[in-house]
Structure 1
Amino acid sequence: MLITTGLIPIPAAAADVATLRPVRACAELVRTYDLPGAVTHVTAATVVPATATEPENCDVRGYVEPAVRFQLRLPITTYAGRYVQVGCGGFCGGVTAPPFTDCGLPHGGDVAVASTDGGHVGTTPLVFDDGKWAENNQTARDDFAFRAPHVVSLASKRVITAFYGAPPRKSYFSGCGREGLLLAQRYPHDFDGIVSGAPAGLWGPLFGVYQTWLAKVNTGADGKPILTAGKLPALHAAAVASCDRSDGLADGAIDDPRACRFNPASLTCPPGTDNADCLTTAQVEATKRLYAPPTDERGRKLYPAGQAVGSELAWYGWIIPAPELGGVSYAYALADNYLRYMAYPNGTPHSSVEKFTFTAREFDRLIPEGVRSNAMSTDLREFRRSGGKLVLWQGWADQAIPAPGTTDYYQRLTRASGGPAATQSWARLFMVPGFYHCYHGDKLTEYDPLRELVAWVERGASPDRTIATGRDADGKVFRTRPVFPYPLRAKYTGTGSIDDAANFVPAPPSKPVRDIVNWAGNDLYGLSGPVAP
């Protein structure tokens, strides 16, 4: 018997998991938990009534010494023994209420959920782009670089045990960014399963070099953006028109931008004109540089890739400054804070977006501190031996973290793990066409493989097919598309709607994948930063 939830069939056994009731009152959780290396103080625990979308829960607030704040939400009547810890974005800096996520049970309140601020409080308007806290504060740096998600997992499991009388049956991490890979590499026993979306493992090069590149190549001598927001719709339309059929199906999306050979010079304005339908000569050159990776003085790549063809609509805000962001771009804010406060060992000269030069020397200067935060190791043997399952995923049109850095890592991991079959028994990668950074896209707007990860961990159901969904502004589904384990792609059967996932089957790549990129960071994959006791 199957219980059908949306497009994914959930075995009946998943709905039969017994719930656990608390063995003590919520308020009794307020105390100090003397965990080795993670002394935890619960400062508040309050019962929150059920709503139309969330269960009654015990809302726990506290911190792990010295300053790793967290929020833990514990269902009072619907807990089924699972713990899910979610990640934070950018440089973190704030505790965001963790959502009650859907692991495949009839309601979303079957899991205990937790989040953290990464060990510091951001003070800028955006919070997550603030790096000032790292200046001359090595403890805060260490908490953010590697310790915070680990000690929060220890603290949460201890509080869960106190509340329900037993530790979680299974523990999961789900995030978009660096923390998932970090945990699999450095703390392989913390979680049974990990979802790592847009895994920003190349941390130092990503913020020190790549975001700086995005900020600088689109800035003119007058300090203003060269390519402006008004040009993005025409640029994107031309890019999609040029490359849409490269995957054999005209559906308004580019399955793999690497197969596209779009030249923005095709949009060059006639002499003496400049309107929204064309690009000036300077804008053509800036666009070409955005599509390309940064290089040093010898032409060596300082990052594995540049912007993806098809990502253009997402450049507003990330690359092109937006008034609602204070007149700066995300790339500039993140890069400048990183270079000023986080990129180099305390006590050594720092830099800025304006001062940084794309040279081998400047790349090497980023390494000593960068390896502390990087999550680039391909040695995940202990995570695999512990029975851990890893789901990596990313959008092909990610404007913040170029997708080829992830396919590069996955092929290196595959080689280090005994080949494709051996690797896919515990680690799989899913690449979502047309999806931007983490949470949205153009034709596909939602993707979350957590339910498939849970089924893999708990029932041995390998995720051979996941679903990405497109919704309009009113929340109505207008497209579903299967996403198969990379390097498989979705191929249209030739009949039925191209907006229905049922009409696609898995297909192998047209030629063997060669995803490893030769770039300046080749030697970084063997390095791993320190871990906390």
Structure 2
Amino acid sequence: MTEFKGRKVDWRLGGTAASILFTALVTGCGGSSSPSTATAPLTCDDSLKASFKPDAQTTVLTVTAFKKGEPLILSGAASPSTPMASNDICMVKLNVGPGNPGPAGAPSTSEGIGIEIWLPAKANWNGRVHALGGGGWQGGSAGSTTAIASSSAAAIAGNEGAVSSTTDTGHAIAGAGSFAMNPDGTINKPLWTDFASRGIHEQAVKTKALATAYYGSAPKYAYWEGGSTGGRQGLNLAQNNPTDFDGIIANYPAINWTRFITSELYPQIVYQRDLSGTPLTKAQSALVSNAAISACDLVGGQHLGYIVDPSSCTYNPVQDPNVLCTSSGGNNATSACVTTAQAQAMNKIWYGMTADGSVPDPATDNGWIEASSSALMGSGNHRWFGLTRGTTFYSPNFVGLASPDMEFPISSDVVALELQNSTIAGSGFANATGNGQSLWKQLSYSQLSNAYDRGVALQTNFGNINTDSPDLSAFKARGGKMLTWHGLADELIMPQGTINYYNRVASQMGGLAATQSFYRLYLAPGLGHGTPNGTANPSAVVPNFAPGQMYTLITDWVEKGIAPDTLTLQTTSGSTTRSMPTCVFPKKVSYLSGDPTTAASYSCS
């Protein structure tokens, strides 16, 4: 599938500009073709607004040149925290229509997809595109003429010398799913499509086209990097637009979108149905989660403070007198003790969503069995996976899935959209038929399961947001390379879902060896959702990826043919340093001998 297929490209750019754009679109990155004529490339000023016209739906909104050391700000006064330009860079903002018409101010009304592109000084360009993904519902200020959306993209352009970009995926309101419902309560198909896939494809196409026109030659290589929603976007690009990027980093990806996000509401439903609406306190979940860590983190006679292999952890608080209250037959008399019902609620949260609220004995099934399957998870009573044992129920970085403060808002938004009832969502969801009223609290286990099924059935209307196709044959055939890491203590996206997807890819693509020739997965013990410690143990020193480590690996693989193998992760906290290898899946870290806090004491097998 070529990038210009189905696009209304305006070839009336003037001979050279049209030739440059045509070359970029047809050859993609790494192509050897070059324009047959020459003309001056574009400049970073308002003349670019008239000069860059890749198609009838694209408008240049603003062009701003920043000198090295200038504050990265478009309006208002700079503050001490305002980032500064690390080098001379040019920011260009685009709008790509048609958007979605509607009443002014309605969340579903959109003028189009906003794209913010950062261009290094022409003498500093390294010939690469290094585009960035987003998070959550994305949205934001990529299409705003008064606010900068991504200082990270600006830093890539300034420090690395690559062209970078980001997008609002078609809606400016960040943090809520209201854009996905029309004012009359129906599904907003155009913006679901923009959010799910079209926005990032337009980001890729327009970023490369602008780079080609600005520098006078096409990018040699294009890379995508993202985590969470950005990870889902990377896999979406590989599945549906395989020529957009040469290399993709798709970390802790939000694939299986409606499946796992519907299940993210499950812990709160457990609180409502099993505990009369009274959540576990932070002290209670911390007590029991740390008991799970202590039961499963022993390596070489030493407690690491985090669990290396949660798939083998079968800790059951119902049978642990050290966490059970004396009223439940335990010996814990503190305010953090849990009743038998509360302990079983934790087992349910760890096992994951079931259609009827049941949970097996962890010794028989701790919730990991389906992760190793090559069949898509969710058709039986076990609808989706749960948080791994030892993972925190709440987080200082975002609302946790089992937080006592509130539900994870994206989950209640998604269930409201699946059931097409805005009042089910939390208070942040706005719609003319009724704003969110948190009526999710009234849902039974079977009703939540029905919402799960509705989400799957509505994929066509939802822009195929689940991004769960295992067919990556076109991406492999074009020579693409992809890397994913997922923390085994992810607080939001269960790593079992990524493992299940990778096994499905291997089955589709002819086995592990064939899959690993272009796509490799790493599982990192103790790491959270892009956080350095996803466990309930705040003192844990969890070995982590170094900044830029994955990007170096993907560029070496694409440009030099060096396939990554076992990696060493390392973290220093104060005077304490911890290191550990992370293995190419399905290999696991195996302790050999020696100090269990150093990577040299392990192997991959």
Give per-residue Cα distances to partners, 1:187-228, cap 9 Å, x unaligned: 111010111111222111122x20221221134789754211
Alignment partners' CA distance in 2, 1:175 and 1:318:
21
Structure 1 residues 337-359: Cα deviation after superposition (integer angstroms, max 9, x where no partner): 1222366599x999962354444
Match of 2:92 in 1: 60
Relative to structure 1, the CA distance from residue 206 to residue 281 in structure 2 (aligned partners, 3 Å threshold; closer, same or farther) is same
Could you tell me how far 1:237 is from its partner in structure 2?
2.2
The 5 A counterparts of 1:189-338 are: 189-207=243-261, 209-219=262-272, 224-245=277-298, 250-265=303-318, 266=320, 267-271=323-327, 275-297=334-356, 300-312=380-392, 314=394, 317-321=399-403, 327-329=405-407, 331=408, 333-338=409-414
One-letter amino acid matched to 1:431:
L
Structure 1 stretches of 5 or more lacking a match? Answer: 1-21, 509-533
Amino acid aligned to 1:383: F
| Structure 1 segment 165-180 matched on structure 2, within 5 A | 165-177=216-228, 178-180=232-234
Q: CA RMSD in A?
A: 3.3
The alpha-carbon deviation at position 451 of structure 1 amounts to 1.5
Deviations 1:474-522 (A, max 9, x none): 7x88333321211223344534x54444x155321xxxxxxxxxxxxxx
Alpha carbons of structure 1 residues 31 and 223: separation in structure 2 relative to 1, 3 Å: farther
Distance 1:465 1:131, change over 3 A: same
> Do the aligned partners of 2:391 and 2:491 also contact (CA within 8 Å) in 1?
yes
Aligned partners of 1:157, 1:353: CA distance in 2, in Å?
43
Letter in 2 for 1:213: Y
Match of 1:39 in 2: 57
Counterpart AA for 1:237: N
Give the alignment partner of residue 89 of structure 1, picking from 135, 138, 146: 135
Match of 1:148 among 192, 195, 199: 199
Secondary structure class of the residue paired with 2:298 = helix
Residue in 1 that maps onto 2:459: 370
1:48 maps to 2:76:
no
**2: CA distance, partners of 1:32 / 1:148:** 23
Provide closer, same or farther for how the CA distance between residues 174 and 98 of structure 1 changes in structure 2, counting only shifts above 3 A.
farther
User: Following the alignment from structure 2 to structure 1, what is the Cα–Cα distance between the partners of residues 352 and 85?
Assistant: 44
Query: Secondary structure at the residue paired with 1:183?
Result: helix
Structure 1 residues 32 and 493: alpha-carbon distance in aligned structure 2, compared to 1, 3 A threshold? farther
Tell me, in whole angstroms, the C-alpha distance in 2 between the residues paired with 1:377 and 1:452.
25
Aligned partner of 2:10 in structure 1 is none
**Amino acid corresponding to residue 50 of structure 1 in structure 2:** K
Separation (CA, whole Å) in 1 of partners of 2:254 and 2:297: 27
Cross-structure match for 1:521 = none
Matched to 1:251, the amino acid is L
**2:237 corresponding residue in structure 1:** 183
User: Could you tell me whether the CA contact under 8 Å between 1:31 and 1:41 is conserved in 2?
Assistant: no
- Cα deviations by residue, 1:426-452 (Å, 9 ceiling, x for unpaired): 011100101111233253374352221
* Separation (CA, whole Å) in 2 of partners of 1:225 and 1:35: 56
Instruction: Report the CA distance shift for 1:102/1:250 in structure 2 as closer, same or farther (over 3 A).
Output: farther
Shift of 1:271: 2.2
Determine which of 510, 513, 519 is the counterpart of 1:418: 510
169-178 or 483-492: bigger deviation: 483-492
Partner of residue 354 from structure 1, selected from 425, 441, 445: 441
Question: Aligned-pair distance for 1:293?
Answer: 1.6
Identity of aligned residues (%): 27
Q: Distance in 2 between matches of 1:198 and 1:304?
A: 16
For 1:258, the aligned partner's letter is: S
Say whether the 8 Å CA contact 1:439–1:446 is kept in structure 2. no
**C-alpha distance after superposition, 1:119-164 (max 9, x if no partner):** 1022xxxx32x11111123221210122110011111111111211
Partner deviation per Cα, 1:243-285 (whole Å, 9 max, x = no partner):
0127986422211211001112311121297635422334212
Who is 2:585 aligned against? 486
- What is the identity, as a one-letter code, of the residue corresponding to 2:66? V
On the 8 A contact 2:153/2:166 being kept in 1, the answer is: no
Which stretches of structure 1, 4 residues or more, deviate above 6 A after TM superposition?
220-223, 246-249, 348-351
Cα distance between partner residues in 2 of 1:367 and 1:417: 24
Say if 1:180 and 1:195, in contact at 8 Å, map to a contact too. yes
- Of structures 1 and 2, the larger Rg is shown by 2
Distance 2:94 2:52 in 1: 11
Q: State how far apart, in whole Å, the 2-side matches of 1:343 and 1:471 are.
A: 47
Report the Cα distance in structure 1 between the residues aligned to 2:169 and 2:470, rounded to whole angstroms.
Answer: 24
Q: Structure 1 251/121 Cα, relative in aligned 2: closer, same or farther at 3 Å?
A: same
Q: How does 1:129-148 map to 2 (within 5 A)?
A: 130-136=176-182, 137-148=188-199
> Alignment partner for residue 339 of structure 1, among 415, 432, 438?
415
One-letter amino acid of the counterpart of residue 390, structure 2: G
Contact 1:135–1:342 (Cα < 8 Å) also in 2 = no
Corresponding residue to 2:603 among 477, 484, 506: 506
- CA distance, structure 2, for counterparts of residue 428 and residue 415 of structure 1: 14
Tell me which residue corresponds to 1:30: 49
For 2:292 and 2:583, the matched residues in 1 are separated by 25
2:273 and 2:444 in contact (8 A); partners too? no
Residue 83 of structure 1: CA displacement?
0.7
* C-alpha contact 2:52 2:213 (8 A) present in aligned 1: no
1:303 deviates by: 3.1
Q: Please give the secondary structure, in 2, of the residue aligned with 1:394.
A: strand
Aligned twin of 1:8:
none
Q: What's the secondary structure of 2:93's corresponding residue?
A: strand
Give the aligned residue type for 1:235: V
**Could you state the TM-score of these two structures normalised by the residue count of structure 1?**
0.79
Residue of structure 1 in register with 2:108 after alignment: none
Q: Which residue identity is paired with 2:346?
A: T
Partner deviation per Cα, 1:159-184 (whole Å, 9 max, x = no partner): 11121111211111111131111111
Question: 1:188–1:344: structure 2 CA closer, same or farther, 3 Å change rule?
Answer: farther
> SS at the partner of 1:312?
coil
SS at match of 2:63: strand
Partner of 2:430: none
Distance 1:152 1:443 in 2: 38
**Residue 465 of structure 1 pairs with residue 465 of structure 2:** no
Residue of structure 1 equivalent to 2:373 = none
Q: Which residue of 1 aligns with 2:120?
A: 75
- C-alpha separation in 2, matches of 1:39 and 1:139: 15
CA 1:215–1:357 in 2, change beyond 3 Å: closer, same or farther?
same
User: Aligned partners of 2:567, 2:95: CA distance in 1, in Å?
Assistant: 36
